[in-house]
Amino acid sequence: MQPPVHITSRDNPLLVRLRKLAQDPTAYRKLGEVWIEGDHLCSACAGRGLAVPQAVLSESAWARPALRQLAGHAARVAVVPDALFNAASGLESPAGCGFLLPWTPQVEVRAGVATVVLDRLQDAGNVGSILRSAAALGVGQVVALRGTAGVWSPKVLRAGMGAHFALHIVEGAVPDDLSRLQLPLLGTSSHTEAELHATRLPSPCAWVLGHEGQGVDEALLARCQQVVRIPQPGGEESLNVAAAAAICLYESLCQRLR
């Protein structure tokens, strides 16, 4: 690691980019960079051995040995006054440290890899939670169809809690791309008789999860080899999509382990 560079100007190009990345959920696509903020996300990134070109720390964070050591994973470090860091942060309580990573879109849908397909999910918290469940429960790939919230946006990154770095993530896919998976597609619906726990699930497979209000697109649901429902004896009409995803992925894991 080179000696840190101290930045004091709000108009410094690095800080201008950070503000755009923190405030615009799709800026990463235009700038080709991702801003991850907070020691947890930075530690998750470093723990995966990813190359980190740039770390940015506030002056008070730089004074903390643990965060200074974390910054040592980066090739370059910038230290800025707390007020400037806070102005560039997307958090209500800024953490004082972050990594700036290069981002290039992944376009290759990998065949034969257990996958989650996101069909036009809108809520960043749901998307991040699903990524977290996918990484925890043995899924290796997430394919986000067009219309899904930006998978590398700041809110999704925070909700994912580092899951991004364990997954192969494809954005902007179209339904025809799913044929490249060479896997059976599985969907959920409250209008089918087959219950999740009583259905033999293929492994590996691709779970298709749909829009929070509209569910999976009808044409896409028709392409699923199996459609199951999650029993809800409590009488609720539906489950939150992130909760449904966790249940389905866990059942897949249980059947695989058995």
**CA-wise closest residue to 143 among 166, 164, 119, 112:** 119
Q: What is the pLDDT of residues 211-230, one digit of tens each?
A: 998 999 999 999 999 999 99
CA 2 to chain centre: 31
Claim: this prediction has a pTM higher than 0.85: yes
Confidence of residue 191 (pLDDT cuts 50, 70, 90): confident
pLDDT at residue 241, rounded to an integer: 96
pLDDT at 170 over 80: yes
pLDDT at residue 92, rounded to an integer: 85
Confidence of residue 1 (pLDDT cuts 50, 70, 90): low
pLDDT at residue 90, rounded to an integer: 81
Strands lying side by side in the sheet with 185-188: 168-173, 141-145, 115-119, 206-210, 185-188, 226-228
pLDDT at 105 over 80: yes
What class is the 5-102 domain?
alpha beta
pLDDT at 235 over 90: no
pLDDT at residue 239, rounded to an integer: 87
| Fold classified for 115-257 | Alpha/beta knot (3.40.1280)
With a pLDDT cut of 70, the percent of the chain lying above it is 100
Q: Where are the domains of the chain?
A: 5-102, 115-257
